[in-house]
């Protein structure tokens, strides 16, 4: 065992291009301890091996098995300390990634604190003998013989034995070990939910991942949704009650709604005589050719070129035009406009569905999800719509809005995206508040 670990440590450290000092720092070990391990001069403890595996971003089994071994059936790899014994029973490398199976024994009243695994790693624990508490620090599950618990292990977690100790089988799934030879299309059709979720986040994938997942992972999926800023999993009921259909779609988490606060701020900046305008009273309040307003507050108006010319004519010099409106992502032609508009419309509807609720069979939101996936994965969105082309009075993008505003003599003073999904850009689809000044 000492020689196997020594060989693997040297191999993986050089593969990761790390010095002894750098790896020791990552693993929280003394440099001298790591040096002795690499020379095969000392036995590694269980905690030390886990720390090194995580620092090297490899599975635990990668450190205690020979890399040339293809069959573990005739070998038993055991690591023990004063409180526990862990035996690697099997290590399988396949389409899913790496799956390692362990038999863990804890003596009476022992508590083993395990560090977080890399993103996307999850565990399935089966009770064999005695009572055992397992799972993340904040959601411990107590299992008896025959019980099964599944949890994402990419955060600190615990194994805790009851009186008399316990025996458990622990399966650790490492989906990040997927071969680079697979195309994203192959992956999207073949992976289980944990593997697909890990892949989507690791690569910031724009692919849609679909498949079936055990209902036992429901809680972990809700937790993942809550933490993700770029993707969301929708679960839908199936005929088999123990399974859900999952769809992982690129759709960011909703940002905090700032419309009320920003509205109050912009209104506070207005001075002098002004009027609020909406689609029902616009014709009565903007008087072309008569510059009598110091400010105009326009909400959900069709932002056509005519509107901006009328607003400019109705304002004094340096008059303020406040706009509250929805904008869609930048589009380049009529087909792209239709696709971006559909994506935004469907996204608004999907965001109304709670991120921690399974979609019942036959619910209308399933149809919305289907349309969203179609529009996302296809560039030739073809849903029929009376608003199929970008007219002067239709929804527009930020580029079009600013072009029309500049042509009418306005300049940008302040801008806020007050609602929508998380994005790296402040000008993407969402609800926007804009303050323009008339030249």
pLDDT by residue (tens digit) across 124-141?
899 999 999 999 888 888
Handedness of CA 345, 302, 382, 188 (dihedral sign): negative
Quote the pLDDT of residue 176. Answer: 56
pLDDT by residue (tens digit) across 147-188?
888 888 888 899 999 888 999 999 888 765 543 333 443 444
Same domain, 165 and 279: no
Q: Is residue 368 part of a domain?
A: no
C-alpha distances (whole Å) from 272 to each of 38, 234, 284, 294, 316 are: 77, 50, 20, 6, 11
Quote the pLDDT of residue 80. Answer: 65
Q: Is residue 159 part of a domain?
A: yes
Please identify which residue in the block is written with the tokens 């959601």. Answer: 139
Q: Is residue 383 part of a domain?
A: no
Same domain, 224 and 290: no
Distance CA 272, CA 315 (A): 11
**First and final C-alpha spacing in the chain:** 78
Of the three residues 154, 175, 196, the one that is the final residue of a domain is 175
Of 374, 319, 316, nearest to 345 (Cα)?
374
State yes or no: pLDDT of 75 exceeds 70: no
Which tokens is 394 given? 């239709």
Strand partners, 173: 99, 122
Contact 304, 312 (CB under 8 A): no
Same domain, 294 and 397: yes
Quote the pLDDT of residue 409. Answer: 95
Same domain, 162 and 204: no
Contact 398, 427 (CB under 8 A): yes
Q: What angle do CA 4, 58, 101 make, to 5 degrees?
A: 75
Distance CA 48, CA 33 (A): 10
Q: Is residue 338 part of a domain?
A: no
Q: Is residue 278 part of a domain?
A: yes
Q: Is residue 103 part of a domain?
A: yes
Q: Is residue 373 part of a domain?
A: no
Secondary structure element (H or E) that encloses residue 427, with its range? none
Of 255, 225, 258, nearest to 422 (Cα)?
255
Same domain, 412 and 319: yes
Phi, psi of 247 (to 5 degrees): -130, 115
C-alpha distances (whole Å) from 207 to each of 222, 342, 351 are: 20, 18, 19
Which tokens is 100 given? 């390692």
pLDDT by residue (tens digit) across 349-373?
999 999 899 999 989 999 999 999 9
- Domain range enclosing 159: 2-175
Q: Give, to the nearest 10 degrees, the angle between helix 31-38 and helix 2-15.
A: 110
Q: How far is CA 38 from the centre of its chain?
A: 37
Residue 28 is given by DSSP the state T
Same domain, 126 and 231: no
Contact 395, 327 (CB under 8 A): yes
Quote the pLDDT of residue 74. Answer: 44
Which residues, other chains included, contact 183 with Cβ-Cβ below 8 Å and sequence gap of 6+? none
Same domain, 211 and 316: no
Which tokens is 321 given? 């035009």
Of the three residues 250, 275, 304, the one that is the final residue of a domain is 250
Strand partners, 10: none
Distance CA 308, CA 301 (A): 10
Same domain, 7 and 143: yes
Question: What's the half-sphere exposure (Cβ side, CA atoms, 13 Å) at 324?
Answer: 20
C-alpha distances (whole Å) from 364 to each of 130, 161, 350, 399 are: 47, 47, 11, 34
Same domain, 233 and 323: no
pLDDT by residue (tens digit) across 205-218?
888 998 888 888 88
Edge-to-edge strands of the sheet including 274-277? 274-277, 293-299, 315-327, 430-438, 410-419
Quote the pLDDT of residue 178. Answer: 45
Structurally, the chain folds into a number of domains equal to 3
Contact 436, 298 (CB under 8 A): no
Distance CA 268, CA 93 (A): 63
Distance CA 242, CA 223 (A): 19
Same domain, 237 and 267: no
Q: Which of the pair, 416 or 56, is modelled with greater confidence?
A: 416
Same domain, 170 and 291: no
pLDDT by residue (tens digit) across 232-270?
999 999 888 888 999 999 998 888 889 999 999 998 988
Q: Which of the pair, 198 or 27, is modelled with greater confidence?
A: 27
Which residues, other chains included, contact 203 with Cβ-Cβ below 8 Å and sequence gap of 6+? 184
Q: Is residue 347 part of a domain?
A: no
Same domain, 280 and 233: no
């Amino acid at each position: 065992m000492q020689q196997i670990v020594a060989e693997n440590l040297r191999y993986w450290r050089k593969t990761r291009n790390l010095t002894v000092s750098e790896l020791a720092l990552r693993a929280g070990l003394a440099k001298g301890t790591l040096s002795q391990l690499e020379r095969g001069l000392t036995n590694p403890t269980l905690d030390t091996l886990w720390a090194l595996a995580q620092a090297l971003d490899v599975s635990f089994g990668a450190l205690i098995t020979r890399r040339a071994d293809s069959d573990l059936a005739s070998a038993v790899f055991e690591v023990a300390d004063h409180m526990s014994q862990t035996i690697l029973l099997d290590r399988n490398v396949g389409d899913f990634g790496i799956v390692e199976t362990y038999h863990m024994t804890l003596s009476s009243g022992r508590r083993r604190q395990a560090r977080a695994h890399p993103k996307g790693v999850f565990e399935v624990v089966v009770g064999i003998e005695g009572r055992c508490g397992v799972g993340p620090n904040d959601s411990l599950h107590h299992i008896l013989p025959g019980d099964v618990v599944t949890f994402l292990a990419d955060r600190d977690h615990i194994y805790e034995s009851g009186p008399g100790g316990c025996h458990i089988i622990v399966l650790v799934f490492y989906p990040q070990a997927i071969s680079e030879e697979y195309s994203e299309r192959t992956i999207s059709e073949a992976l289980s939910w944990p593997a697909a979720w890990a892949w989507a986040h690791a690569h910031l994938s724009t692919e849609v991942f679909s498949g079936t997942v055990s209902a036992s992972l429901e809680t972990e999926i809700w937790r993942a949704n809550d933490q993700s800023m770029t993707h969301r999993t929708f679960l839908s009921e199936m005929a088999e009650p123990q399974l859900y259909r999952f769809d992982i779609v690129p759709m960011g988490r909703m940002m905090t709604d700032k419309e009320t606060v920003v509205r109050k701020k912009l209104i506070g900046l207005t001075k002098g005589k002004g009027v609020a305008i909406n689609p029902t009273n616009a014709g009565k309040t903007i008087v072309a050719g008569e510059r009598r307003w110091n400010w105009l507050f326009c909400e959900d108006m069709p932002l056509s070129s005519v509107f901006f010319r009328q607003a400019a004519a109705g304002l004094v010099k340096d008059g303020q035009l406040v706009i509250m409106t929805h904008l869609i992502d930048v589009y380049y032609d009529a087909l792209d406009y239709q696709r971006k508009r559909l994506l935004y419309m469907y996204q608004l509807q999907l965001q109304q569905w709670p991120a921690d609720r399974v979609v019942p069979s036959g619910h209308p939101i399933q149809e919305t999800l289907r349309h969203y996936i179609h529009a996302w994965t296809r560039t030739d969105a073809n849903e029929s719509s009376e608003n199929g082309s970008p007219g002067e009075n239709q929804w527009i993008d930020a580029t079009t809005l600013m072009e029309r505003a500049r042509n009418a003599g306005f300049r940008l003073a302040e801008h806020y995206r007050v609602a929508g999904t998380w994005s790296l850009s402040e000008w993407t689809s969402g609800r926007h508040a804009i303050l323009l000044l008339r030249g």
